[in-house]
Structure 1
């Protein structure tokens, strides 16, 4: 088994919605809106507030999708409404509101503004793997790794989720997250067993204040933040996000739907920006990308920096 993840594409949405529909735990939660999930996700794909990945097992013939992870940046009003009893299932409620034209997902502009000042509310829409992987340690590790990588570098205020299995509920709680009590407080452990908690709508989450006090817990990594230095433009960020996968410029052009010359011009713009704001990053202070070893070396330096500083690739008001 070799599980990896990548951004969800339009062609993946049908299979991902089917995975949710056939999931014995989360499928029934959707009830009357189950058949609408595909259309809603397809309409939201590409928005800054809609974060979606698929998990694949490359050792299976044809590289099979074995899981899906979707989260959203939501309004303060929605976050407060989900904290008021009676608790509800977040994914189905987000689907219903989107169908009514009342989606609580932030606009692209609102995401940029909140990520620059004030902070974002993160709600996990759905995270699920196929039933045969429920007790697979590698699958759990892949989901956790993807979740952290997808959301690290954002200015988060609070994060909340509803694990798809009893096993993953325990994993999340061990990570440093807390259960939301009916009085609106997060607590380390409620007065009920996890089996009882899992049977009903429940929330597991963490606030920024608590997270930064939990040294060593992976959930706390989500809330580590520093302001970006480079101020990359959205087109530059899109190229850099794709480049993190280690692809060639020609593959970048195909992935982004642009010409090879446009890719090279974007790299030049990126290097010039970095040389202005982080002049010590490149060897010898050279900003112009050359072909050959020196060009590859500069790109490696930049990619290594971005892996440690994901805030440079997050939307922000410039």
Structure 2
């Protein structure tokens, strides 16, 4: 699934016990259009997210939104998040290890939604976890016709109360981007954040190295125009005439601090 993470289609992470210990909890998330979301809720069935994931991995027509469709949703009324897969070790809820695992997973959960204009979240779970799922903040339950599983759903417009329910609200907070980079510019910066060199970025995006360098120049110009003083002239920031590598360092540091 690494390619799909890189392409920005599926998001997720996991918490491991120790550096190489057992996985305690993991989650995968993606985004779907209104039609798919409505179909899931009208005809909920067990492990739909897993089936979508399998079809996607096999190259079949995907239910998941690509980067362009996600960007369009961000600019309009918002996106429908679908919890594609979620698993956690069986815990005693009073076990301190459970609290540690959940506290460690919370930043991962929030990071799945960071930067997205999320209007709904749909999550599938065993109905034996109903009280916990409700406490987290899911407001609607759609039972499957067979078995003991259900889809849970929450809208950004739903009213919720309580500390735990506010956690899911945090996932649905959206701040409009300040700089509005193009999709190609975003791909270059995402690759740079992953530690790739310009040569590696060029190979990844199937363009020339000169095209990457030209795009970086456009990125610096755009950032300076959208946020005057971004590359500042104080003693702690470089002069705008400084060379590209220093501007890149400042820009990527800013992105890391705000994603």
Secondary structure of 1:181's counterpart equals strand
Number of the residue aligned with 1:207: 155
Unaligned runs of 5+ in 2: none
Q: Distance in 1 between matches of 2:168 and 2:12?
A: 19
Deviation, 1:213, is 8.1
Q: Distance in 1 between matches of 2:129 and 2:47?
A: 18
Number of the residue aligned with 1:53: 12
Number of the residue aligned with 1:303: 253
Question: Residues 179 and 91 of structure 1: is their aligned pair in 2 closer, same or farther, counting only changes over 3 Å?
Answer: same
Whether the 8 Å CA contact 1:56–1:66 is kept in 2: the answer is: yes
Number of the residue aligned with 2:243: 290
Deviation, 1:121, is 0.7
Secondary structure of 1:72's counterpart equals strand
Q: How many equivalent residue pairs?
A: 244
Number of the residue aligned with 2:74: 115
Number of the residue aligned with 1:94: 52
Whether the 8 Å CA contact 1:214–1:220 is kept in 2: the answer is: no
Whether the 8 Å CA contact 2:124–2:152 is kept in 1: the answer is: yes
Number of the residue aligned with 1:224: 173
Do residues 140 (structure 1) and 102 (structure 2) align? yes
Question: Residues 274 and 222 of structure 1: is their aligned pair in 2 closer, same or farther, counting only changes over 3 Å?
Answer: same
Number of the residue aligned with 1:161: 123
Whether the 8 Å CA contact 1:158–1:205 is kept in 2: the answer is: yes
Do residues 241 (structure 1) and 241 (structure 2) align? no
TM-score, length-scaled by structure 1: 0.59
Q: What RMSD in Å do the two structures reach over aligned CA positions?
A: 4.3
Q: Distance in 2 between matches of 1:283 and 1:133?
A: 52
Number of the residue aligned with 1:271: 220
TM-score, length-scaled by structure 2: 0.69
Deviation, 1:122, is 0.7
Q: Distance in 2 between matches of 1:154 and 1:221?
A: 12
**Within-5 A mapping of 1:9-88:** 9-10=2-3, 46-48=6-8, 50-55=9-14, 57=16, 59-60=18-19, 68-84=26-42, 87-88=45-46
Number of the residue aligned with 1:124: 83
Question: Residues 54 and 96 of structure 1: is their aligned pair in 2 closer, same or farther, counting only changes over 3 Å?
Answer: closer
Given the alignment, which residue of 128, 138, 146 partners 1:178? 138
Whether the 8 Å CA contact 1:111–1:120 is kept in 2: the answer is: yes
Secondary structure of 1:103's counterpart equals coil
- Output one character per residue of 1:35-83: Cα deviation in whole Å (capped at 9) or x when no partner: xxxxxxxxx56554x223343649535x887654322211212211222
Deviation, 1:169, is 7.5
- Output one character per residue of 1:79-99: Cα deviation in whole Å (capped at 9) or x when no partner: 112222555333234257657
Number of the residue aligned with 1:314: none
